[in-house]
Amino acid sequence: MLGDFIFCNPTRIYFGKNSLSGLDKELPLYGKTVMLIYGKGSVKKSGLYDKVTALLKAHGKTVVEDGGVMPNPTLDKLCEGMRIAREAKADLILAVGGGSVCDYAKAVSVSAYCDEDPWEKYYIRSEPVDNKIIPVGCVLTMVGTGSEMNGGSVITNTRTKLKIGRVFGDDVFPKFSLLNPELTFSLPKYQMVAGFYDIMSHILEQYFSGEDDNTSDYIMEGLMKSLIKSSLAAVQNPLDYEARSNIMWTATLALNTLVAQGKSTDWEVHMLGQAVGAHTDATHGMTLAAVSMAYYKHILEYGLNKFRRFATEVWGVDPDGKTDRQIALEGLSAMEKWMKNIGLVMNLKNLGVTQDMIPGIVSSTLIMEGGYKILSADDVKKILLESM
Ligand code: NZQ
Ligand code: ZN
């Protein structure tokens, strides 16, 4: 480990089957008006909406609702939410849903009192937040993004076709998050496995960077092994509490900033995936799955030592009598087999990408500098074409 850091994660986690009772501890800490944010309807179907609103009522809260948050929340929706929050003078924003709902809640929390255009200020220019921030709490129903314990907030501008993830500081992290693995049981398989790959990708983005001997890499190898084992069990039996709870906590640990401390990180797969998402509105985890193999094969020779280590430590590849390149490629093959096994979308065609969309996706792809190779526009094009 070579980098210095200051680490603080201010989110209080209530984990387990009774985690909703955490609201009894948290709600009294905030004022009377709660803005309740949720998605397109899964929380009403599951009965969670009724449970949460009953608790809010029991605590004497005035509830202002903002439902209908879409997967990959848009700037237009954010403009609606920031108006509602400001007019209601919300004291607390309670997000009940997946990463999209949590991300959107954070965007509303920093934008409600922003006097400028928050898209320009916070997402394009990435300026620090210098206005009032409304505190956010989350009840998580979908596992993958880590949004429940980080400052990430991804918003899509449908006009400019840019999907940008802003990572806010710890004053924007949720103040508390309630994590009940049972609330994820109702997820359709497609969303469930997309979330599994989102977790894997978050770990890989932080693992495939740097050459230093770093404690975080050892932690990440453990997280990946746990994810691989539990994901296979959860696909067999989605009601396997042990597997689903392990995955839920792995997702949080993968992106609550812990494993990024003191090391460099990449995030290019996310830049490719987000560009695809901006042009297709496809499910986040699937966009990452579709481009990953082509990307990793493209950069393999530049980070061969780490890809070799990934193969032997995570996938148990036997190195005997093989070249480093062969070992590294076997590791990627093992990952590809696992991806197919759990049912991920492995190419861009199946996400609605057509050849004529490629130049637009190339220009929407932001280039990161922490990976083993800084991509050129031509590299991006090649990777996208290989992912078709
Ligand atoms: O809208 P509803 O009806 O709630 O349905 C959702 C949605 O259709 C459904 N769902 C969620 N929980 C459910 C459920 N259906 C049945 N039962 C449940 N328990 O699942 C669908 C997808 O939900 P969504 O919140 O969009 O998924 P996810 O959690 O993957 O969030 C994706 C968003 O997070 C961003 C992505 O870019 C994308 O916009 N990310 C946020 C990050 C962060 N904050 O750090 C990092 C990630 O890399 C990611 O970029
Ligand atoms: Zn992600």
Ligand 1 lined by 103 (C-beta under 6 Å): yes
Q: d(Cα 158, Cα 180) in Å, to the nearest integer?
A: 33
Q: What angle do CA 274, 104, 134 make, to 5 degrees?
A: 140
The residue contributing the CA closest to ligand 1 atom 46 is 145
Tell me the whole-structure pTM to 2 decimals. 0.97
pLDDT digits (tens, 9 = 90+) for 299-348: 999 999 999 999 999 999 999 999 999 999 999 999 999 999 999 999 99
Ligand 1 lined by 150 (C-beta under 6 Å): yes
The residue contributing the CA closest to ligand 1 atom 28 is 99
The answer to whether residues 176 and 200 touch, using CB atoms and an 8 Å cutoff, is no
Ligand nearest to the CA of 143: 1
Ligand 1 lined by 187 (C-beta under 6 Å): yes
pLDDT > 70 in the chain, percent: 100
Task: With CA atoms as reference, report the closest residue to 17 among 204, 245, 197, 188.
Answer: 245
pLDDT digits (tens, 9 = 90+) for 236-287: 999 999 999 999 999 999 999 999 999 999 999 999 999 999 999 999 999 9
Ligand 2 mean position, distance from CA 103 (Å): 12
Ligand 1 mean position, distance from CA 237 (Å): 21
Tokens representing residue 87 in the block:
């007019």
Ligand nearest to the CA of 98: 1
Average pLDDT, the chain: 97
152 to each of 63, 123, 148, 161, 256, how far by Cα in Å? 25, 11, 9, 19, 9
Torsion sign, CA atoms 368, 278, 376, 145: positive
133 to each of 95, 104, 108, 173, 175, how far by Cα in Å? 15, 14, 9, 11, 12
- Bridge-based pairing state of the strands 12-15 and 176-179: parallel
* Residue 384 predicted with pLDDT over 90: yes
pLDDT digits (tens, 9 = 90+) for 188-240: 999 999 999 999 999 999 999 999 999 999 999 999 999 999 999 999 999 99
The single-letter DSSP state of residue 353 is -
Ligand 1 mean position, distance from CA 283 (Å): 8
Ligand nearest to the CA of 165: 1
Q: d(Cα 384, Cα 269) in Å, to the nearest integer?
A: 11
